[in-house]
Structure 1
Amino acid sequence: MLHLAQSQAALAFLVLITPICAWVVFTDLKYMKIRNNAVYALLAVFAVAGPILMPFDLYAWRWVNALAIFALGYILNQIAHFGAGDAKFAAAAAPYFSTNSDHIMLMVMLLTAFLLAAFTAHRIARSIPALRAMAPDWVSWTRKDFPMGLALVGTLWAYLLILAISG
């Protein structure tokens, strides 16, 4: 029964966060920024829907994930120039992930795959003049850094999708 509930919760979260994820991908590609409103919206979905979709003790402990990733993101922003928006989005996404060791391994594999795929796809896309002409004002076409929101969104979305269909 718990597995079925986890699957249903993942599906509900997936439906609720999809518009936010689309917004993050668009703004990161166009402006190379993840807006604070998107981060707040992602947190708000978890804050409001979480206690309805999950057992309360599990829901409450998931907030520790957000705090830990926020601290890590802050450190990475200071020492490794990791984007502040990326760090905030990762922290807002963290409560959606289980800290079960199998889930952590899945998340690491997904993040690795999405980092490689998103970076490669973005670099290829920006080298094709016809694609660049479709969105000539996108800042990500000309910046040397990478719109990390693509990989972060992909990781969150794929993780929830896998949980949703595994039930």
Structure 2
Amino acid sequence: MTSLPPLAALAFLLPALPIGVWVAWSDMKTMKIPNKAVLALLAGFVGIAVVLMIAGLLPLMGFFWALALGVIVLVLGFLGNLAGLFGAGDAKFAAAMAPFFIGADLRFVLGLFAACILAAFASHRLAGRIPAFRAATEDWESWTHKDFPMGLALAGTLIFYLLAALMPLF
């Protein structure tokens, strides 16, 4: 599942939740993930990680590995973008998300991501068929764009991963 201590997950959720909502909303509305959101998530990770290192909840080496994972995902993301697999904003946001997953069980993360893609796709398509919702969001580009707003699924994956790490508290 997750090797993230619940207190660390709670601390990381503080920046991840509002930024994740911002990214999902922005991607549905404009089909773009703002660079400010990507930088804010990265800054939130670094800031919280420093506090967690001081508190002894994150080892210094773990912090460097987390940043290295972000760089690896960034490189792979740009290669995927060049191949036309997904947008550059998705690649940058995934790279900013990656450090949060350091030490995680890859099977759990990939399963969660798959579930979030399916749920995001189904809920986006369903919401688009509700007349009142569609009327309230008629300016959203995602209703008519050929691509899917993957920021919705990416943000969901990050938020639900951090929430899953809180489960030992309950």
**TM-score scaled by length of structure 2:** 0.90
Is residue 2:162 matched to residue 1:151? no
Deviation, 1:88, is 0.2
Which runs of at least 4 in structure 1 moved beyond 3 Å after TM superposition?
none
Is residue 2:134 matched to residue 1:132? yes
Deviation, 1:80, is 2.6
**Aligned AA for 1:83?**
G
Is residue 2:40 matched to residue 1:41? yes
Which residue of structure 2 aligns with residue 12 of structure 1?
Answer: 11
CA contact (8 A) 1:118 1:150 kept: yes
Structure number with the higher helix fraction is 1
**TM-score scaled by length of structure 1:** 0.91
Residues 85-111 of structure 1, C-alpha deviations (whole Å, 9 max, x = no match): 0000000000000244xx211110010
CA RMSD of aligned residues (A): 1.7
Match among 70, 73, 93 for residue 77 of structure 2? 73
Instruction: Identify the range of structure 1 (135-144 vs 35-44) with the bigger mean alpha-carbon deviation.
Output: 135-144
CA contact (8 A) 1:98 1:104 kept: no
For the residue of structure 2 that corresponds to 1:166, the secondary structure is helix
Give structure 1 stretches of 5+ with no counterpart: none
Give me the identity figure in percent.
47
Residues 107-160 of structure 1, C-alpha deviations (whole Å, 9 max, x = no match): 100100000110111112112322210111111111121000010001001111
